[in-house]
Structure 1
Amino acid sequence: MLSAQQLATMLNLQDKMNKKVNPDWLNAGYGYLRAAMVESVEAIEHHGWKWWKAQQKDLPQLQMELVDIWHFALSACIIDYKGDVDASAQSIAAELASGNTTVSFDGKDYDASMQSLLDNLELMTGLCAAKRFSVPLFMFIVTQCDMSADELYRQYVGKNVLNFFRQDNGYKEGSYIKMWNGREDNEHLVEVMDALDLSKPEFSDLVYDGLKARYPQA
């Protein structure tokens, strides 16, 4: 289960990133759950659903889609609580603590723990289309995709911090260098995170500092 510290870190990072895109993002009317719905459909594609042809589940891509969905879900939650990050964290923590994997949708109850990954992805897509999101359902899907809560946190923070780092180093202006010493920044990110203690409250800052130390200086 995600810890209170992990939830606080992720929600604060999401709020900062959204403010970087638009300082008034809370009132902009962006369709965050619509975006989560589209990502959910993409996750279904990576799972494979076509019965008339041979398909293989692409687990790494599935996990990446879940990390993207989580970005949008956190944004939607912050909006629900009018920008109150602490209240958002408490709400998510309460949902997780309930351990309730049953979702009511369109007059019917669905227990995620009794459904296949594909059916749960479809259920999550439907909920997002109806402007709803179930954290317990999402976290059960994370488990079905062979991810732990810590790994979700790790991948989320990594992607978020890398996005910040790119913006701070000229990504928007086109001056950012993506290849460092013959390798992409994503590869450096993995190495930086692997060398750090995930449990430290300042984990995201340490990731940023690690990238900064490696980035080629002009």
Structure 2
Amino acid sequence: MTLTESQLIDMLQMQHDMNSKVNTDWVLANNNWHRAIQVEGVEAIEHHGWKWWKKQDCDMAQLRMELVDIWHFILSAALQHKHGNVALARLDMMAEQNLHQKTVQFDNQYFVLAQMNLLAKLDLLVGLATVKRTSLALFESLLTDCGMDWTLLYGQYIGKNVLNVFRQDHGYKDGSYLKIWHGREDNEYLVDVLEMTDLNASDVRATLYQSLKLQYASALEKC
């Protein structure tokens, strides 16, 4: 299943709005979105497990959430490249998507995505981000390896976008927000809430926000 133009426009606009909520002059701030992709990519590697000297279990739910986080920064980098213009960013991303690339060129090598495992693809994502590059073909391949597609990503993105808005509304930027609720990170609560929510409903964003608000209020009472 391919990424549709309507899904991409929605997500680009939501990302633009979210970035503007953090900083109205976010385009001029020229944030290092690729560094953010690097960090989230390494966190995804940690959730996958990579230490050959000890037993590790892959936390696929959290790995998927890291991919959603990475997508936020891919969108932001695309918007930044077009000076915050959603329409132009959409054109660039759809043109790349329509190439249906099977390989990724990096460091004078061509990496065949079909011949790589999930961990190697995460390594490549981090490497590309180091030189301020992204690849939609690589990201789509990562989605597939994690049992996701663009439609599922779209729903998950909406959820994380709502959480990010919620965080900003409740003091994330000034440091007063509590990220741990009843001993669990808010991301984990979001995973639970998403599983119980109809992501195709017209009021999905309001429903998700209210669910998070109730959980957060309960956590504050216990502090």
TM range (shorter): 0.7 to 0.9
TM-score (norm 1): 0.83
Superimposed CA distance per residue, residues 83-129 of structure 1 (whole angstroms, 9 cap, x where no aligned partner): 11111112212222211031111111011121111111101110000
- With over 3 angstroms needed to count, the CA separation of the structure-2 counterparts of 1:172 and 1:127, relative to structure 1, is closer
Secondary structure class of the residue paired with 2:3:
coil
Q: Aligned residues: percent identity?
A: 43
For residues 48 and 189 of structure 1, the distance between their equivalents in structure 2, rounded to whole angstroms, comes to 20
Q: Are 1:89 and 2:117 an aligned pair?
A: no
- With over 3 angstroms needed to count, the CA separation of the structure-2 counterparts of 1:40 and 1:11, relative to structure 1, is same
Runs of 4 or more, structure 1, over 3 Å off, are: 165-176, 184-197, 211-217
- With over 3 angstroms needed to count, the CA separation of the structure-2 counterparts of 1:7 and 1:45, relative to structure 1, is same
1:11 is matched with which residue? 12
The Cα of 1:75 is off from its aligned counterpart by 0.4
TM-score (norm 2): 0.81
Asked whether the equivalents of residues 192 and 210 of structure 1 are also in contact (C-alpha less than 8 Å), the reply is no
Structure 2 residue runs of 5 or longer lacking an equivalent are 218-223
Q: Are 1:155 and 2:156 an aligned pair?
A: yes
Secondary structure class of the residue paired with 1:98:
coil
For residues 155 and 17 of structure 2, the distance between their equivalents in structure 1, rounded to whole angstroms, comes to 18
- With over 3 angstroms needed to count, the CA separation of the structure-2 counterparts of 1:105 and 1:171, relative to structure 1, is closer
Structure 1 residue runs of 5 or longer lacking an equivalent are none
Asked whether the equivalents of residues 40 and 121 of structure 1 are also in contact (C-alpha less than 8 Å), the reply is yes
2:33 is matched with which residue? 32
1:102 is matched with which residue? 103
- With over 3 angstroms needed to count, the CA separation of the structure-2 counterparts of 1:175 and 1:48, relative to structure 1, is closer
Task: Tell me the amino acid that sits aligned with residue 109 of structure 2.
Answer: K
Q: Tell me the matched-pair count.
A: 209
- With over 3 angstroms needed to count, the CA separation of the structure-2 counterparts of 1:213 and 1:155, relative to structure 1, is closer
